[in-house]
Protein backbone atom coordinates (compact mmCIF):
# COMPACT_ATOMS: atom_id res chain seq x y z
CA UNK A 1 0.00 0.00 0.00
CA UNK A 2 1.35 3.41 -0.99
CA UNK A 3 1.64 6.46 1.20
CA UNK A 4 -0.93 8.15 -1.02
CA UNK A 5 -3.42 5.32 -0.29
CA UNK A 6 -2.78 5.70 3.40
CA UNK A 7 -3.43 9.43 3.26
CA UNK A 8 -6.59 8.80 1.22
CA UNK A 9 -7.81 6.30 3.86
CA UNK A 10 -7.11 8.79 6.62
CA UNK A 11 -9.08 11.49 4.78
CA UNK A 12 -12.01 9.05 4.23
CA UNK A 13 -11.97 8.05 7.86
CA UNK A 14 -11.90 11.67 8.97
CA UNK A 15 -14.83 12.48 6.69
CA UNK A 16 -16.81 9.73 8.43
CA UNK A 17 -15.92 11.15 11.83
CA UNK A 18 -13.86 8.08 12.81
CA UNK A 19 -10.62 9.08 14.61
CA UNK A 20 -7.52 7.33 13.35
CA UNK A 21 -5.46 6.03 16.25
CA UNK A 22 -3.26 3.80 14.15
CA UNK A 23 -3.15 2.13 10.77
CA UNK A 24 -2.02 -1.33 9.82
CA UNK A 25 -1.80 -2.72 6.27
CA UNK A 26 -2.98 -6.33 6.22
CA UNK A 27 -2.83 -8.17 2.87
CA UNK A 28 -3.86 -5.11 0.93
CA UNK A 29 -6.53 -4.10 3.53
CA UNK A 30 -6.21 -1.11 5.81
CA UNK A 31 -7.31 -1.41 9.46
CA UNK A 32 -7.95 2.09 10.86
CA UNK A 33 -9.13 2.48 14.48
CA UNK A 34 -11.95 -0.01 14.19
CA UNK A 35 -12.49 0.48 10.41
CA UNK A 36 -11.69 -1.98 7.67
CA UNK A 37 -11.06 -1.20 4.01
CA UNK A 38 -12.06 -4.21 1.93
CA UNK A 39 -11.86 -4.14 -1.85
CA UNK A 40 -11.77 -0.36 -1.81
CA UNK A 41 -14.78 0.01 0.53
CA UNK A 42 -14.48 1.55 3.97
CA UNK A 43 -16.44 -0.39 6.62
CA UNK A 44 -17.20 1.09 10.02
CA UNK A 45 -16.65 -0.99 13.18
CA UNK A 46 -19.30 -3.61 13.74
CA UNK A 47 -19.91 -4.22 9.99
CA UNK A 48 -18.65 -6.98 7.75
CA UNK A 49 -18.68 -7.32 3.98
CA UNK A 50 -19.13 -10.95 2.99
CA UNK A 51 -19.52 -11.90 -0.66
CA UNK A 52 -20.76 -8.40 -1.44
CA UNK A 53 -23.34 -8.41 1.38
CA UNK A 54 -23.08 -5.92 4.22
CA UNK A 55 -23.84 -7.50 7.60
CA UNK A 56 -24.44 -5.18 10.54
CA UNK A 57 -23.73 -6.15 14.13
CA UNK A 58 -22.27 -9.25 15.66
CA UNK A 59 -24.77 -11.92 14.73
CA UNK A 60 -28.48 -11.95 13.87
CA UNK A 61 -31.24 -10.94 16.32
CA UNK A 62 -33.72 -13.69 17.24
CA UNK A 63 -37.46 -12.85 17.21
CA UNK A 64 -38.96 -12.39 20.71
CA UNK A 65 -40.27 -15.61 22.16
CA UNK A 66 -44.02 -15.81 22.52
CA UNK A 67 -45.38 -16.70 25.97
CA UNK A 68 -46.88 -20.13 26.29
CA UNK A 69 -50.66 -20.22 25.90
CA UNK A 70 -52.50 -21.47 28.99
CA UNK A 71 -55.89 -23.24 28.97
CA UNK A 72 -58.91 -20.90 29.01
CA UNK A 73 -60.33 -19.73 32.32
CA UNK A 74 -63.46 -21.55 33.53
CA UNK A 75 -65.98 -19.54 35.56
CA UNK A 76 -69.17 -20.81 37.21
CA UNK A 77 -71.50 -18.56 39.21
CA UNK A 78 -73.40 -20.56 41.83
CA UNK A 79 -75.46 -17.72 43.26
CA UNK A 80 -77.67 -15.84 43.12
CA UNK A 81 -79.93 -17.58 40.64
CA UNK A 82 -80.66 -15.71 37.44
CA UNK A 83 -83.87 -13.64 37.49
CA UNK A 84 -84.01 -13.73 41.29
CA UNK A 85 -86.64 -11.41 42.82
CA UNK A 86 -85.91 -10.17 46.32
CA UNK A 87 -86.85 -7.44 48.76
CA UNK A 88 -83.30 -7.32 50.16
CA UNK A 89 -80.96 -4.45 49.45
CA UNK A 90 -78.04 -6.74 48.65
CA UNK A 91 -77.29 -10.24 47.37
CA UNK A 92 -74.40 -12.65 47.83
CA UNK A 93 -72.53 -13.48 44.63
CA UNK A 94 -70.57 -16.74 44.79
CA UNK A 95 -68.96 -19.20 42.42
CA UNK A 96 -65.89 -21.15 41.38
CA UNK A 97 -63.04 -20.41 38.98
CA UNK A 98 -60.21 -22.41 37.40
CA UNK A 99 -57.31 -22.03 37.59
CA UNK A 100 -57.47 -21.17 41.27
CA UNK A 101 -54.88 -18.43 40.70
CA UNK A 102 -57.24 -16.50 38.39
CA UNK A 103 -58.32 -12.96 39.22
CA UNK A 104 -62.08 -12.45 39.71
CA UNK A 105 -63.87 -9.12 39.39
CA UNK A 106 -67.48 -8.67 40.52
CA UNK A 107 -69.02 -5.41 39.34
CA UNK A 108 -65.48 -4.23 38.54
CA UNK A 109 -64.20 -4.90 42.05
CA UNK A 110 -61.59 -7.60 42.69
CA UNK A 111 -62.73 -10.23 45.17
CA UNK A 112 -60.62 -12.81 47.04
CA UNK A 113 -60.33 -16.30 45.55
CA UNK A 114 -59.73 -19.12 48.04
CA UNK A 115 -59.00 -22.59 46.67
CA UNK A 116 -60.85 -21.74 43.49
CA UNK A 117 -63.94 -20.31 45.19
CA UNK A 118 -65.15 -16.74 45.68
CA UNK A 119 -67.95 -15.05 47.60
CA UNK A 120 -68.90 -11.39 48.03
CA UNK A 121 -71.90 -9.17 48.82
CA UNK A 122 -73.24 -6.76 46.19
CA UNK A 123 -75.68 -3.91 46.83
CA UNK A 124 -78.62 -3.71 44.43
CA UNK A 125 -81.04 -0.95 43.51
CA UNK A 126 -84.84 -1.16 43.23
CA UNK A 127 -85.82 -2.69 39.92
CA UNK A 128 -83.64 -4.70 37.56
CA UNK A 129 -79.94 -5.22 38.33
CA UNK A 130 -77.37 -6.97 36.10
CA UNK A 131 -74.32 -8.18 38.01
CA UNK A 132 -71.18 -8.76 35.91
CA UNK A 133 -68.56 -11.33 36.91
CA UNK A 134 -65.21 -11.52 35.07
CA UNK A 135 -62.28 -13.90 35.52
CA UNK A 136 -58.80 -13.67 33.99
CA UNK A 137 -55.42 -15.40 34.18
CA UNK A 138 -52.06 -14.68 32.48
CA UNK A 139 -51.71 -15.93 28.88
CA UNK A 140 -55.24 -17.45 28.95
CA UNK A 141 -58.60 -16.52 27.46
CA UNK A 142 -60.78 -14.96 30.16
CA UNK A 143 -64.39 -15.71 31.08
CA UNK A 144 -67.41 -13.55 31.84
CA UNK A 145 -70.85 -14.19 33.32
CA UNK A 146 -73.85 -12.04 34.20
CA UNK A 147 -76.72 -12.55 36.63
CA UNK A 148 -79.98 -10.59 36.52
CA UNK A 149 -81.57 -9.77 39.88
CA UNK A 150 -84.77 -7.85 40.56
CA UNK A 151 -85.09 -5.86 43.74
CA UNK A 152 -88.74 -5.46 44.56
CA UNK A 153 -90.30 -2.67 46.58
CA UNK A 154 -92.40 -3.98 49.45
CA UNK A 155 -96.13 -3.20 49.41
CA UNK A 156 -98.15 -2.44 52.53
CA UNK A 157 -101.36 -4.43 52.96
CA UNK A 158 -104.23 -1.91 53.03
CA UNK A 159 -106.80 -1.80 55.82
CA UNK A 160 -109.87 -3.52 54.37
CA UNK A 161 -111.94 -3.88 57.52
CA UNK A 162 -115.66 -3.45 56.89
CA UNK A 163 -115.50 -3.24 53.07
CA UNK A 164 -117.24 -5.68 50.75
CA UNK A 165 -115.37 -8.69 49.34
CA UNK A 166 -115.41 -7.23 45.82
CA UNK A 167 -114.06 -3.90 47.01
CA UNK A 168 -111.36 -5.65 49.02
CA UNK A 169 -110.21 -7.62 45.96
CA UNK A 170 -110.13 -4.47 43.83
CA UNK A 171 -108.08 -2.52 46.36
CA UNK A 172 -105.57 -5.32 46.69
CA UNK A 173 -105.15 -5.55 42.91
CA UNK A 174 -104.57 -1.79 42.77
CA UNK A 175 -101.46 -2.11 44.95
CA UNK A 176 -100.13 -5.21 43.19
CA UNK A 177 -101.47 -7.86 45.56
CA UNK A 178 -103.93 -10.70 45.05
CA UNK A 179 -106.89 -11.62 47.25
CA UNK A 180 -108.15 -14.98 48.39
CA UNK A 181 -111.59 -14.46 49.95
CA UNK A 182 -112.69 -16.90 52.67
CA UNK A 183 -116.27 -16.73 53.96
CA UNK A 184 -116.12 -17.70 57.63
CA UNK A 185 -119.71 -16.77 58.56
CA UNK A 186 -121.21 -20.25 58.40
CA UNK A 187 -124.63 -21.35 57.20
CA UNK A 188 -126.62 -19.64 59.92
CA UNK A 189 -125.33 -16.16 58.88
CA UNK A 190 -127.27 -16.53 55.66
CA UNK A 191 -130.39 -15.78 57.71
CA UNK A 192 -129.02 -12.43 58.92
CA UNK A 193 -130.28 -9.45 56.89
CA UNK A 194 -126.84 -7.79 56.53
CA UNK A 195 -124.12 -7.43 53.93
CA UNK A 196 -120.98 -9.52 53.96
CA UNK A 197 -117.91 -7.53 54.97
CA UNK A 198 -114.21 -8.00 55.57
CA UNK A 199 -113.44 -9.02 59.13
CA UNK A 200 -109.63 -9.31 58.89
CA UNK A 201 -106.75 -10.07 56.56
CA UNK A 202 -103.63 -12.19 56.75
CA UNK A 203 -101.08 -10.66 56.64
CA UNK A 204 -102.68 -7.92 58.70
CA UNK A 205 -103.15 -4.34 57.55
CA UNK A 206 -99.91 -2.37 57.44
CA UNK A 207 -97.65 -5.40 56.93
CA UNK A 208 -95.23 -4.91 54.04
CA UNK A 209 -95.03 -7.80 51.60
CA UNK A 210 -93.54 -8.50 48.19
CA UNK A 211 -95.50 -7.41 45.12
CA UNK A 212 -97.79 -10.15 43.86
CA UNK A 213 -98.23 -11.67 47.31
CA UNK A 214 -101.52 -13.32 48.18
CA UNK A 215 -103.58 -11.86 51.00
CA UNK A 216 -106.10 -14.01 52.84
CA UNK A 217 -109.34 -12.02 53.25
CA UNK A 218 -111.80 -13.32 55.84
CA UNK A 219 -115.38 -12.13 55.35
CA UNK A 220 -118.66 -12.64 57.17
CA UNK A 221 -121.90 -10.81 57.91
CA UNK A 222 -121.01 -10.66 61.57
CA UNK A 223 -117.32 -10.46 62.51
Class of the CATH domain delimited by 74-151: mainly beta
The domains of the chain are located at: 3-56, 74-151, 155-220
pLDDT by residue (tens digit) across 40-78?
A: 444 444 443 433 443 344 455 566 666 668 899 999 999
Please state the separation of Cα 221 from the chain's center in Å: 61
Residue pLDDT, tens place only, 163-222: 999 999 999 999 999 999 999 877 787 778 889 999 999 999 999 999 999 999 999 998
Question: CA 112, CA 193: separation in Å to the nearest integer?
Answer: 70
The CATH number of the domain covering residues in 155-220: 3.30.10.20
Amino acid sequence: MTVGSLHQARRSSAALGVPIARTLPIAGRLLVAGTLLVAGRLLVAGTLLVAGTLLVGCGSASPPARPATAPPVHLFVTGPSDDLATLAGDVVVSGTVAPASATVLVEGRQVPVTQGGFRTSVSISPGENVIDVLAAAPHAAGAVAAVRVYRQTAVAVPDLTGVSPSSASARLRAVGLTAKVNDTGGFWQALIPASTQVCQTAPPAGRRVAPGSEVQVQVAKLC
